[in-house]
Amino acid sequence: MRIAELSRISGVPVPTIKYYLRENLLPPGELTSPNQASYGDLHVRRLRLVRALVDLAGVPVAQVKEVLDGLDSDTLSLHDQIGRAHRAITARRQLASHPPEAATDAATAQVEALIDSRGWKVAPDAPALTTLIETIAVMRSLDQDHLVGLLETYADAVEKFTTLELAAVTSRPDRATPDQIAESVIIGTILGETLISTLRLLSQESTSAHRWTQPPGTGTTTP
């Protein structure tokens, strides 16, 4: 198909497709004449993946390229590919909340104890590590220690997620190739977060709708 047809099927505007081609987010089409290229189903699929990572997961385009280069690489270990996906997810976060030093020290000790008690093998420069510590420190400095108390509950749940996600991608009935498993791991890592996030919001909304729809001060003791 020509680029106009690729745009129609994928819903991605032609200028955006050309930008992705220039940035090597999308492999070139097959040249049918010096000025015309032909595209196939693989291009539709890749475009869908790019848009999902950019739009649904909020990953910056430069980080999407890192992730896709990793997937296309023959020399990177899967662990390194996952590292790229993790940097892509954390790239949208910055550390500039400046919690008080004492809160940061306490948060660091708490996270080290948690990682230790769970036997997690985590690199000291893991991008999620500093974000986790700063988030806990900020929560503490905003007098939300009771929220920090949920840390072990969250950690229990994510350990279970990891076990089941691993089983889901490695035990596919279609006997996936290593390349397909790598792609599944990356998609599951990045888009799985969107699933968890949106489900959590829906569950919260439901609880909130049952409890908290009355305006303030209308006679009940709970807010």
Residues 1-40 that bind its own copies (CB under 8 A): 10-12
CB of 5 to its own copies, least distance (A): 14
In angstroms, the CA 146 to CA 4 distance is: 55
In angstroms, the CA 19 to CA 204 distance is: 39
Judged by CB under 8 A, the stretch of 25-33, 35-43, 62-70, 111-119 that binds its own copies is 111-119
CB of 213 to its own copies, least distance (A): 4
Closer to its own copies at the Cβ: 21 or 52?
A: 52
| Residues between 118 and 137 with contacts to its own copies, criterion CB under 8 A | 118-123, 126-129, 131-132, 134-136
206 binds its own copies (CB under 8 A): yes
Each residue 155-174 as x (binds its own copies by CB under 8 A) or -, in order, gives: x-xxxxxxxxxx-xxx-x--
Judged by CB under 8 A, the stretch of 18-26, 28-36, 62-70, 147-155 that binds its own copies is 147-155
The identity of residue 70, as a single letter, is G
Task: Fill in the DSSP letter of residue 37.
Answer: E
117 binds its own copies (CB under 8 A): no
Distances (CA, A) of 143 to 96, 99, 103, 136, 184: 18, 12, 11, 11, 40
Listed in sequence order, the DSSP H helices in the chain are 3-10, 14-22, 41-51, 61-72, 78-90, 101-118, 127-141, 145-148, 151-170, 178-211
182 binds its own copies (CB under 8 A): yes
| Residues between 63 and 102 with contacts to its own copies, criterion CB under 8 A | 74-79, 82-83, 86, 89-90, 92-99
Closer to its own copies at the Cβ: 33 or 213?
A: 213
In angstroms, the CA 1 to CA 87 distance is: 35
Distances (CA, A) of 48 to 82, 111, 113, 131, 176: 20, 37, 41, 29, 20
Among 32, 36, 117, 208, binds its own copies (CB under 8 A): 208
Closer to its own copies at the Cβ: 38 or 83?
A: 83
175 binds its own copies (CB under 8 A): no
CB of 138 to its own copies, least distance (A): 4
Phi, psi of 196 (to 5 degrees): -65, -45
